Amino acid sequence: MNPQNPVICVGEIAIELARGGDGRFGLGFNGDTFTTAVYLARAGIPVAYATAMGDDPYSNGLVALAAAEGVGCDWVIRVPGRLPGLTLADTARTGERQFYSWGETAPARELFELPNWGLVAEALVSARLIYFSGITLSLYSNLAIGRLLAVLELARQRGVKVAFDGNFRPRGWKGDVARTRTVFMEALKRVDIALPTYEDEAVLWGDPSPEATVERMRAFGIGEIVVKNGANSAVVASADAQEHVPVPQLVVPVDATAAGDGFNAGYLAARLSGATPVAAAGAAHRLAGEVIRHCGALMPRTGAAMH
């Protein structure tokens, strides 16, 4: 596949209202695969984003943000008269961020059901790599999931790599664990690089250890698996080797938001630039460590160096 073809990340960019230290809410954005797309772009990887949005001023602002970060917007389908999803982020007494979402009518949910969804499909089958997450899958109806899975299959036949982060959020699946597992299993059959978080996998599958996550995913024929495990070592597994890659420096997080999204971007950017899986995991740890030193998903660009 042509290295000049973009990585295409699929998902949703929502408006986010986040409460600051003064108790007031500030306007920002929320989107796991979009955050990864931005960090890939900052690393110099050609990247585009596939989603659907309205034609309102807030959607315009989100598209302008993507463009300013160098993320291609050709596959952001605009739907007249519609509004993007809204997320409210508040900090609980424990210090953890709590998220509340109003996104049931967001156009992003209909990306693979809009009249021109075939244009997105055409772009995906000629991408360099397709990246999506469990949150992406939680947006879609069964019809749309079927279409996405068919596109992934066709893309892989054409040499496109597929990367997936389970990123399991029970609320997005309305607590329907059986449906989540069914959809994830179908997705995992079509994945080349899995980037799960152990904590999520333990909740969804009951995996007793990161090594158990590796074994379960290997059963799907996935050739490259990197299990993120917070401040602990990441487990990197390729066809025949398995290695623990420690976090190079423990950082007390200012804000743990997007640590995993940054890790995924650091890993994929390094791999696409020719690094080995173990070296890529080291680069991923470093970027995640930078991300959590800052408030919000996107750190200021001055701190955005990947190397």
Catalytic residues: 261
Single-letter code of the amino acid located at 118: G
- In eight-state DSSP terms, residue 140 is S
Neighbours of 272 (CB within 10 A): 20
d(CA 254, CA 241): 35
d(CA 107, CA 50): 12
Whether the Cβ atoms of residue 133 and residue 33 lie closer than 8 Å to each other: yes
With a CB cutoff of 8 Å and minimum separation 6, the contacts of 78 are 52, 53, 54, 55, 59
Return the closest-CA partner of residue 50 out of 114, 96, 146.
114
β-bridge mates for residue 98, sequence order: 90
Collapsing DSSP states into helix, strand and coil, what is residue 118? helix
Judging by beta carbons within 10 Å of its beta carbon (0-12, 13-18, 19+), is residue 73 exposed, middle or buried? middle
Collapsing DSSP states into helix, strand and coil, what is residue 197? strand
